[in-house]
A = this chain, B = another copy of it.
């Protein structure tokens, strides 16, 4: 008899983290590459996760006064030309529609026909098309603020793609707001990055650092970009959400003007903020282990799966028992919602069924057979615990909500510990080079380095050489004064440096 792998996922994280990531996605049946270059298919289990992300965020957006709307998929090419930095940032990777029908090709097959007068860009982000619309809506200070969000697909023609993390088409939400004053727009920018922090930490169980992007790392056209940055298990950073204060850059490019209370005509102040299906990549890489996906309970499509174990003569008894157990569990609540319980009664081997749910990250897995029924117990496996244990049925029902809450907290704590264990302060170029030394594509090294620095531009050769980026200037716990790690000169800014996705 051949020996199987030691873990459900092969390779392990240690062996080859990038390949482990692909295999977790495959084993959990979250998504797959499509026949269209760079585009993925999000499969039902992955899409349910995204639906849960959407619902939680959407509620938070509405609670902070936003409404949803929908704007066109296409942007006329001339719109993109209006904001210089913006076009620079997006023109190099966009899908361009040039024709509006197909006709038979004399050589066989079809060919594009009906050339458009002006090419259309498939939106890579919607500042320009939404701004053009807002310019019509905004006349007076009474029309402000405009607080709108859009759930949509966007396309950026990435050459190297990776599922969820970087795909040509992805799903996201983009908030676009307009304000009468800079102060209000800045407050909005900060409010929304705080919504993202709250969501990342309390729903995804993913600790994040909130900070400002440095000028070279900002969104094209933004005055200020705030972001949340998380550490993945390979110690790389992942930017999980951004909130941009756009100043008057877009309102000037698009003529979003209003008459103020005092009667003057002024340009408005705008913001934009977004998160995408990239969050699912972050979720996978934050919690999953060498047996597959691990889901934080608040976002899990299924909290509990029950596996009935029976032979022909015990089937009726066991099924009746697990159905009543399911009903009792489903009557409990976790995080203000009913507990989501499913019975998996498929006719497949018990071991195969167990690993099916382990690999898909179901938080709690229960097994019930005739012996458990006789003993009044249930065999209970919690996704982050190495062993299943027997537990009295009444106790299980009474503690199921606590068990989910504990798991949610433990996942957060473990991720925070990983980040803290791999965060350093670096004071010199030698330390910096040592910490970020390249030890091969699949090696897990590095982490977050907090460093004072004088000048972003002068760091670029070193950062490029080591493939390191400035993630952000953190908003909290950040001493202003120190010594530049590169020049040794006094420096009044400190940032977090890391290799990043």
Chain A interface (Cβ < 8 Å from any Cβ of B): 32, 34-36, 39-44, 46-48, 50-51, 67-81, 87, 91-103, 109-112, 114, 119-122, 129, 132-133, 148, 152-153, 155, 157, 169, 171
A110 contacts which of B32, B80, B112 (Cβ < 8 Å)? B80
Given A44-B67, A133-B35, CB of A97 within 8 Å of CB of B100? no
How near does chain B come to A93, taking the closest CB pair, in angstroms? 6
A109 to B: closest C-beta gap in Å = 6
With a CB–CB cut-off of 8 A, which chain B residues contact A80?
102, 110
Q: Tell me if A101 and B93 are in contact (CB < 8 A).
A: yes
Can you list 27 residue pairs at the A/B interface with Cβ under 8 Å? A34-B72, A34-B129, A35-B76, A35-B79, A39-B73, A40-B72, A44-B68, A44-B148, A47-B69, A47-B70, A51-B68, A72-B169, A73-B122, A77-B102, A77-B110, A78-B109, A80-B102, A80-B110, A91-B101, A91-B103, A92-B102, A95-B99, A96-B102, A98-B99, A99-B119, A152-B153, A153-B153
In the complex, which residues of chain B have a beta carbon less than 8 angstroms from the beta carbon of A41?
A: 69-72, 133
Q: Please, how many angstroms separate the alpha-carbon atoms of A193 and B71 in the complex? A: 29
Using Cβ atoms and an 8 Å threshold, which residues of chain B touch A155? 73
Closest-CB distance, A155 to chain B (whole angstroms): 7
Q: How far is the CA of A109 from the CA of B92 in the complex (A)?
A: 14
Is the Cβ of B69 less than 8 Å from the Cβ of A133?
no
Q: What 9 A-B pairs are tightest by C-beta distance, nearest first? A: A39-B72, A44-B67, A91-B102, A96-B99, A42-B70, A100-B157, A96-B112, A36-B72, A98-B98
Partner of A68, one of B48, B68, B114: B48
Residue from A98, A100, A153 having most chain B Cβ neighbours under 10 A: A100
Residue of B nearest to A45 (CB): B67
> Complex: how many Å from CA A77 to CA B101?
11
What residues of B have a CB within 8 angstroms of the CB of A94 in the complex? Answer: 100-102
What's the least CB distance linking A205 to chain B, in Å?
24
Q: Which residues of B contact A44 (CB under 8 A)?
A: 67-69, 148
Shortest CB-to-CB span from A63 to chain B, Å, is 15
B110 touches A101 (CB 8 A): no
Contact (Cβ within 8 A) A101 B97:
no
- Expressed in whole angstroms, the minimum distance between the Cβ of A430 and any Cβ of chain B is 41
Contact B97 A96 (CB under 8 A): yes
Task: Looking at the assembled complex, report how far the CB atom of A103 sits from the nearest CB atom of chain B, in whole angstroms.
Answer: 7
List of B residues within 8 angstroms of A109 by Cβ: 77-78, 81
| Residue contact B120 to A112, C-beta cutoff 8 Å | no
Given A34-B72, A39-B73, 13 other A-B residues pairs in contact with their CB atoms under 8 A:
A35-B76, A36-B72, A39-B72, A41-B71, A44-B148, A47-B67, A47-B68, A48-B68, A70-B171, A77-B109, A96-B99, A97-B122, A98-B99
